[in-house]
Amino acid sequence: MDAEPKPLIDDLDQLRTYRDAAAVLRLPYFKIQRAARAGIIPTYSILNGRRYVKLRDILDLMSAA
């Protein structure tokens, strides 16, 4: 029995663009953008300056509401 290897990073912890996160969660893009701009959800940036979010952070916020 070959078990599939576990990914190094959980899918919920991968960095995603606002648009990608909105598409996966079926939310409007502008809601992710506004929440990130207001500091409600944490954002991450890499060397290129583009802002990213984690699905886990958004889902945690949604479950707390």
Provide the whole-model pTM: 0.78
Query: Is there a contact between 36 and 54 (Cβ–Cβ < 8 Å)?
Result: no
Strands of the 44-45 sheet, one edge to the other: 15-16, 51-54, 44-45
- To the question of domain 11-64 being in CATH 3.40.50, the answer is no
Domain ranges across the chain: 11-64
- pLDDT tens, N- to C-terminus, the chain (65 residues): 556 665 556 788 899 999 999 999 999 999 999 999 999 999 999 888 899 999 999 999 989 86
Q: How far apart are CA 36 and CA 22, in angstroms?
A: 12
In degrees and rounded to multiples of 5, residue 34 shows phi and psi of -65, -40
End-to-end CA distance of the chain: 42
In degrees and rounded to multiples of 5, residue 54 shows phi and psi of -110, 140
pLDDT, position 10: 76
